[in-house]
Chains A and B, each alone.
Chain A
Amino acid sequence: AQSVTQPDIHITVSEGASLELRCNYSYGATPYLFWYVQSPGQGLQLLLKYFSGDTLVQGIKGFEAEFKRSQSSFNLRKPSVHWSDAAEYFCASRRSGTYKYIFGTGTRLKVLA
């Protein structure tokens, strides 16, 4: 069955440090992949998405993600984390043949001052 895995439940980084959040998907064809961020008590904001083309995708707030078919991964990166980046991050894939999403379990990012 199609699935999205975020191996890290919690990640803590110092402000100014680089960040990489992992996301793995299981799907035979090229999936439609998304990263969303959720601040406490808020809805989800789209950071970036990948459908096809250039495998390095630029998003908002200085985030980028790289699609690697060989590793079935779509990891999210940011070169220098800001305290305001502390939030929950969700990776999602569009379910094959539908417009429904499959969400990963989320990674909670904590940023140390």
Chain B
Amino acid sequence: GAVVSQHPSRVICKSGTSVKIECRSLDFQATTMFWYRQFPKQSLMLMATSNEGSKATYEQGVEKDKFLINHASLTLSTLTVTSAHPEDSSFYICSARGDLTTDTQYFGPGTRLTVL
């Protein structure tokens, strides 16, 4: 149980375009979803927290207009990287927690974004 999926696993896009990444909780209802960014050989950096049906809360230094987060249902959250630039290239990982999983976050497999 407690499986989280992400789609796509890899995406390559041109500079200036937008990319949407989906995060789904497959077997539980995710009250809260988190989006992380991970640079090569580094730890995870929390970008934002989203609760179903409400606006996401962004961490300091994260541009909310560039990284649009939508948590429209209890099983789906999306991260849209708008007007992507090469410096946005990174590994993006989502995680989810539900009322039954309480304090434990379950992580998706990650999405590798490459902006040319």
Contact = CB atoms under 8 A, between A and B. Distances in A.
A36 B104 CA distance: 11
Contacts, number: 48
Interface residues of B, number: 23
Interface string A26-58: 000000101010000111111001010000000
A46 B106 CA distance: 7
A42 B10 CA distance: 11
Nearest to A51: B103
**Which one of A34, A90, A99 has the greatest number of beta carbons of chain B within 10 Å?**
A99
18 contacts: A36-B107, A41-B91, A42-B109, A42-B110, A43-B4, A43-B93, A43-B108, A43-B110, A46-B107, A49-B103, A90-B43, A99-B32, A99-B103, A99-B105, A100-B34, A101-B34, A103-B43, A105-B43
Interface of A: 32, 34, 36, 41-46, 49, 51, 90, 94, 99-101, 103-106, 108
Interface of B: 4, 6, 32, 34, 41-44, 46, 49, 91, 93, 95, 97, 103-110, 112
